[in-house]
Amino acid sequence: MTLFTRSNSARFRTHLTIAVSVAALLAGCAGESGEPDMAATSSVEPQDAFWNAAQELCGRTFAGRLTHGGPSDSVLANSELRMHVRECSPDELRIPFHVGDDRSRTWVLTRTADGLRLKHDHRHEDGSEDSITQYGGDTRSPGTAQRQEFYADSLTAALIPAAQTNVWTIEILADTMFTYALRREGTDRRVRAEFDLRREVDAPPPPWGASP
């Protein structure tokens, strides 16, 4: 049996102090070496990351093509498609969608208290609103940094009863592709247009109703 003498006690306290100091030093070195401190790190929320990616496209124009559609989408299939991320603010993006010489369409993305919203602003050539305009919907989940889904709202159901089950999808694959898509749940209605983010094109004229 080892007697716990006063001298043993002193040596024990000295060894304990040294051990604690070394542990603290090693912990500090680990932080300085670049190892992640899980308590201190924070990830960007998916919708924030998506919004930031969309903001990075501000002022740029890209050509696209219809990759999926039906007989009613023949105009889209046979026209030059361009999207122009024309107006950007912290809480709103206005993206005119030009179909040939038709400048009636603008996608409007906004941030809300509950997520993100997509609306379709349709105008006549004189700038007046079309009778079918401002339809769209809101996100119901955080989505991902690359993909957000927008479910038809009550205004859409009132304006276009057949579209009350619409789900619009926007995907942004950094420096690669921007996708606008529609599916109508419970039916085979599908539309998808893809825009090449690797190659910018000349900006089109302003959409109808917008200032130069």
Residues 27 and 50 grouped into a single domain: no
Residues 56 and 35 grouped into a single domain: no
What's the CATH code of the domain at 91? 2.40.128.20
pLDDT at 32: 45
pLDDT at 18: 45
Please report the sign of the dihedral spanned by the C-alpha atoms of residue 53, residue 58, residue 62, residue 68: positive
The answer for residues whose C-beta is within 8 angstroms of residue 124's C-beta and 6 or more apart is 104, 130, 208, 209
Q: Write down which residue in 42, 57, 72 finishes a domain.
A: 42
Residues 30 and 56 grouped into a single domain: no
pTM for this prediction: 0.80
Domain count, the chain: 2
Identify the residue with better confidence: 143 or 22.
143
Query: How many other CB atoms sit within 10 Å of the CB of residue 64?
Result: 21
Q: Compute the average pLDDT of residues 69-87.
A: 97
Query: Rounded to whole angstroms, how far apart are CA atoms 183 and 116?
Result: 18
Give the confidence band of 122 by pLDDT, cuts at 50, 70, 90. very high
pLDDT at 5: 43
Which domain, by its residues, includes 17? 1-42
Which one, of 99, 67, 66, lies nearest residue 84 by Cα? 99
Query: Rounded to whole angstroms, how far apart are CA atoms 62 and 83?
Result: 6
- pLDDT above 90 covers what percent of the chain? 78
pLDDT at 43: 79
Give the confidence band of 106 by pLDDT, cuts at 50, 70, 90. very high
Residues 26 and 62 grouped into a single domain: no
The whole-chain average pLDDT of the chain stands at 87
